[in-house]
């Protein structure tokens, strides 16, 4: 898996010269290859930690996102309209860069936490 990730990284950086650079907005092949390589590395790390090191408890905090996936997926679509209706804002430094990453991480954990709360009161969305 790591070897495939290395191949995809290299292909992504080679293809960027022929496909218009690395751009998520334009869906360039190089962006897809590099992101797939990153995903494989992260997946390999998770396999190592969970299957070989038996560190299940490390991921207990995000368990609701795995057990109630559809609920966790749809909660932001309920949150954003409510947020826009309240006309609340957040500080400018949380708009981009490191502050934006911190805001995204906090938002993700809040959504997972809300999913866990809904799961405890037996609210689960199923297809």
Each of the 127 residues of the chain gets a pLDDT tens digit; together they read 999 999 999 999 999 999 889 998 888 999 999 999 999 999 999 999 999 999 999 999 999 999 999 999 999 999 989 988 998 888 888 888 899 899 999 999 999 999 999 999 998 887 7
The number of beta carbons lying within 10 Å of the beta carbon of residue 33 is: 22
The number of beta carbons lying within 10 Å of the beta carbon of residue 19 is: 18
Rounded to whole angstroms, the maximal C-alpha distance in the chain is 52
Q: Among 65, 59, 55, 58, which Cα is nearest to 113's?
A: 65
Q: Among 54, 40, 86, which Cα is nearest to 32's?
A: 40
Report the distance separating Cα 104 and Cα 124, nearest Å.
Answer: 24
């Amino acid at each position: 898996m790591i070897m495939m990730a290395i191949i995809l990284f290299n292909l992504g950086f080679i293809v960027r010269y022929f496909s218009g650079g690395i751009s998520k907005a334009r869906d360039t092949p190089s962006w897809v290859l590099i992101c797939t390589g990153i995903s494989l590395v992260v997946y390999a790390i998770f396999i190592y930690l969970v299957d070989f090191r038996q560190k299940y408890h490390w991921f207990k905090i995000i368990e609701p996102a795995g057990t109630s996936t559809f609920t966790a997926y749809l909660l932001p679509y309920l949150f954003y309209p409510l947020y826009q209706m309240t006309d609340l804002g957040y500080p400018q430094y949380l708009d981009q860069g490191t502050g934006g990453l911190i805001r995204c991480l906090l938002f993700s954990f809040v959504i997972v936490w809300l999913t866990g709360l809904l799961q405890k009161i037996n609210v689960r969305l199923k297809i």
